[in-house]
Structure 1
Amino acid sequence: MQRAYKVELKPTNQQIQKINQCLGVCRWLYNAYLAKNQSLYQDFKEGKLNKKKAFMSANDFDKYINNDIKVLDDCKWINDCGSKARKKAICNAEFAYKKFFKGEAQFPRFKKKGKSKVGLYFPRNNKTDFKIERHKINIPTLKWVRLKEFGYIKANANVISGTVTEQAGKYYISIVCEIEEVKNSLPKTEPLGLDLGIKDFAIFSNEVVKKNINKTSRVKKLEKKLKREQVRLSRKYECLKKQNKIRKGEATRQNIRKQIVKVQRLHQRLANIRTDYINKCVSEIVGQKPSSITIEDLNVKGMMKNRHLSKAVAGQKFYEFRIKLTNKCKQNDIELRIVDRWYPSSKLCSCCGNVKKDLKLSDRIYVCKECGLVIDRDLQASINLREAKTYKIA
C-alpha cells in the first residue's frame, strides 16, 4: 500500500536558487511540448498532416530536446535540471494533451510563472536517496534539506519517489512511501446517512449538525483581509501602467511581486483552514463506527454554474471531502454508499413516502400534506439517504 506525506522544507538560499532554476526548466518544457503539439494539430486541421503525425509522444519530444535543442549554446541551461524531472514534466504535458486529443477535455493551459503549480520530480535511484532523519531529508541533487516539522515522516520509511513544489514563497516535498496495509475491523453501529449542504456543511441522520466553517468570524476576517490586499494589488498594477520612468517602474514591479505573495499566502491560509475542518469532520464521521455511510452523488460542476451559489459551493470543498471520506472508509472497512443525484432525498417524506414535487430551495422546513410530518429539510434528506435501497458502492 502506498501513502503520501507532505511536509514543508527549510532550504538554504543556494538550494532555493537551485529549486527555482529546476522549476523554471520544467515549466518551460511543459509549455514547449504543448506548443509543439499545438502547431502539429493546426497543420492537421489545415490538411497538411494526417492524424497519426499530428501527435508527438513524450519520448519523441524528449529525444528532440536532447538532440536538437540542448546542443545549442543558448539552451544549455536545460541541463541545470535533472533528466528524470525533465522527463516527468513532459509526461505530465502528454497526459494532459492526450485528453484533449481524444476529445475528453479542452486544450490544456500553458503554465505561467508565479501562478501555475509546477512539481520537481525525484525518483529513488540510489540507497542514499531520500534518506530521512528526524530534522532533515536527503533529496537527490539538493542533498540534505531541513524539515520544518520534525518526526512526521518515519526515519525508516520506504520512499519510492518525491516531488518538490513551491507555493506562496514556501517550499514543500511530497514523498510516496510503501507501507503495510492495515484495516481496522472494529465493531460497527447502525448505518449513517449524510446530507451535504451550504447552510450547514453536513447533517447526519442521527441529528448531528456540522456547521459551515465559512460563516465563522475567523474565516470572514481573513476573507475581508484578502479583499483589501487584492485591491492593493490591483492599484499597483494600475500605477505601473501610468508610470513612464524606468526606475519607478522597476521599484513598482518589486512591490507587485511582494504583494502577489501576500495574496497567495492568504489564499493558502484559507484553504488550509477549510481542509483542516474537512479532515476533522471525516475523522468524526468514521469515529462513530457506522456499518455503512450513505451520501449523495452531487453535481458540483452544475452547481458551480449558478453565479449566486458558486462561491459558497467552492468554499465547501465537496469533492475533497468525498475523496477523503472514501479513503478513510476503505481503511476502516466501512461501506460507503453513493446514491444517484436524481434521488428525491429532500422531496420524499421519511414517514409516509409521499413526494412533494413543488418543494422550493427556500423551504427549509418540510411539511407533509399527507401525514402532517414537520421536519427540517436537511435532516429528512439524511434520513432518506440512510434508508435508500438503490445505491452503488464507492
Structure 2
Amino acid sequence: MIRVSLPRLGRIRTHESTIKLSGRIQTGRARILSATVRYERGRWFVAFQVETAREMSRVSHPDTAVGIDLGVKHLAVLADSSGQTRYEPNPEHLDGVLKLLRFHSRRVSRRQGPDRRTGRKPSRRWEKANRERNKVHHRVANLRADALHKFTTRVRAEYGTVVLEDLNVAGMLRNRRLARRVADAGFGEIRRQLIYKGRRNLCTTIVANRWSPTSKTCSDCGAVKAKLPLHVRVFTCDTCGLVLDRDENAARNLLALAANCTTGTGVAGDQDTPRVSKPREADRKTRRQRPGRGGRAGGASLPHQRQKETGDRRQDTEARHAPR
C-alpha cells in the first residue's frame, strides 16, 4: 500500500496506484520537484511535478501538415496535405447527464445546507446528496479529459505540423446560447495539449491569427465573403461556385497557412506561441490619436505638422485681433 507524506497532514494513503513512480524514484530515474494539493468537488488531489528522462516518440508522417478547425457540431475537422478530411465527433459528455444533474441539484437544494452568515452546518442528508451530485461531475470531467487526451495524442503521433486558430474562448463563453457547449468541448484544453505534446515530439505548431477570415475565405479561389452568419453551415463561393462544409473550408484555409509559413510567402502567426494577437494594452498605446487643438496635451503630431499648426494658430490670432 503506497502512502504520501505531506507537511502538516502526515502520511495519507493514495487512491490511485503509484508503484511506477515509486519504482523510478528508488532506481534513480526520477526525482520529485514539488507537490500541489487542491480541493475539487468534495475530493482532495495531490499532483507531483517529476523530473525524469522521456524517450521521444517518432511521428508517422513528419512531412505532413494538418489544419484543425474546432467547433461545436463537430469537435474538430482535420484537413491534411495529402487531401484527406476527417471529422472528429463531439462526445457531448455534459449533455448526456443534464437530466441526472437536475435531479441531484433539486435534491441538494431541498435539504438543509451550510450557511456562512449564521454558521449553520449542513445536515447529513445534504452531504449525502451533495456527494452523489459530485460523483456525476467527476465522471463527466474524467470522460472529457480522457477523450481530449486520446484525440490530441493521436493527432500528434501522426502529423509533424499542426495549424490551429487562436479562438476567443472567453468571448464565446459570454454567449448564453453557446457557453455550455463551448465549455463542454474544451477548446482551450485541446490547444494546450497539442502545443506541449508537439514540443515533446519536436514537432511544429502554428497558431493562426485570431482575425484571419478562415471561414469567410474560399479555399479554392481565395475570394473573401463580406458576411457569413454562424447559422450558415455550408460555404458557397460567389466567384467560383464552390459548395463546401463551413468547417472543412476553414480547415483547408488553415492548412494553406502552414505552407505560407514554411515557404515564407505569408504570415500566419508565430510558431509554438500560445498568444499571437496583440494585447489590448499595446493596442491602446499604438492607437492613432486625434491631433490636439491649440497645443493641448494628447495631440500627437509630426514636426512638420507642428510647424503648420503653429502657423495656422498665428494667422487665427492675427485675424481675431485685427481692426474691423
Q: Do both proteins adopt the same fold according to a TM-score greater than 0.5, normalized to the shorter chain?
A: yes
The equivalent residue for 1:222 is: 97
8 Å Cα contact 1:136/1:147 also seen in 2: yes
Is 1:391–2:265 an aligned residue pair?
Answer: no
The residue correspondences of 1:57-96 to structure 2 (distance < 5 A) are: none
CA distance in 1, matches of 2:198, 2:221: 32
> Partner of 2:62: helix, strand, or coil?
coil
CA distance in 2, matches of 1:348, 1:167: 43
The equivalent residue for 1:145 is: 12
CA distance in 2, matches of 1:272, 1:181: 25
Unmatched segments (≥5 aa) in structure 2: 261-267, 273-324
Equivalent residue in structure 2 for 1:162, among 31, 35, 48 = 35
Deviation at 1:172, TM superposition (A): 2.3
Which letter does structure 1 place at the counterpart of 2:236? V
User: What is the TM-score of this pair, normalised by structure 2?
Assistant: 0.70
Q: Deviations over 1:323-364 (max 9, x none)?
A: 111110000111100001111111110111111122221111
CA distance in 1, matches of 2:10, 2:124: 31
Deviation at 1:148, TM superposition (A): 2.6
Equivalent residue in structure 1 for 2:70, among 196, 221, 225 = 196
For the structure 1 residues 141 and 225, does the alpha-carbon distance in structure 2 shift closer, same or farther, using more than 3 Å as the test? same
The residue correspondences of 1:15-54 to structure 2 (distance < 5 A) are: none
CA distance in 2, matches of 1:143, 1:234: 35
Deviation at 1:199, TM superposition (A): 0.7
The equivalent residue for 2:293 is: none
Is 1:213–2:91 an aligned residue pair?
Answer: yes
Percent of residue pairs identical: 29
Which letter does structure 2 place at the counterpart of 1:278? L
> Partner of 2:56: helix, strand, or coil?
coil
8 Å Cα contact 1:184/1:332 also seen in 2: yes
Deviation at 1:183, TM superposition (A): 3.5
CA distance in 1, matches of 2:141, 2:212: 31
Larger CA deviation: 264-273 vs 349-358: 264-273
Which letter does structure 2 place at the counterpart of 1:225? L
8 Å Cα contact 1:182/1:331 also seen in 2: no
User: What is the TM-score of this pair, normalised by structure 1?
Assistant: 0.58
Equivalent residue in structure 2 for 1:381, among 216, 228, 250 = 250
Which letter does structure 2 place at the counterpart of 1:392? D
The equivalent residue for 1:367 is: 236
Equivalent residue in structure 2 for 1:177, among 42, 50, 53 = 50
The equivalent residue for 1:136 is: 3
Computed over aligned residues only, the root mean square deviation of the Cα atoms, in angstroms, reads 2.4
Deviation at 1:294, TM superposition (A): 0.3
The equivalent residue for 1:293 is: 162
CA distance in 2, matches of 1:348, 1:301: 24
> Partner of 2:210: helix, strand, or coil?
coil
8 Å Cα contact 1:185/1:333 also seen in 2: no
Aligned length: 248
The equivalent residue for 1:48 is: none
Which letter does structure 2 place at the counterpart of 1:301? A
Equivalent residue in structure 2 for 1:280, among 150, 162, 178 = 150
CA distance in 2, matches of 1:358, 1:169: 47
Deviation at 1:300, TM superposition (A): 0.6
The equivalent residue for 1:21 is: none
Larger CA deviation: 200-209 vs 229-238: 229-238
Deviation at 1:152, TM superposition (A): 4.6
Equivalent residue in structure 1 for 2:140, among 255, 262, 270 = 270
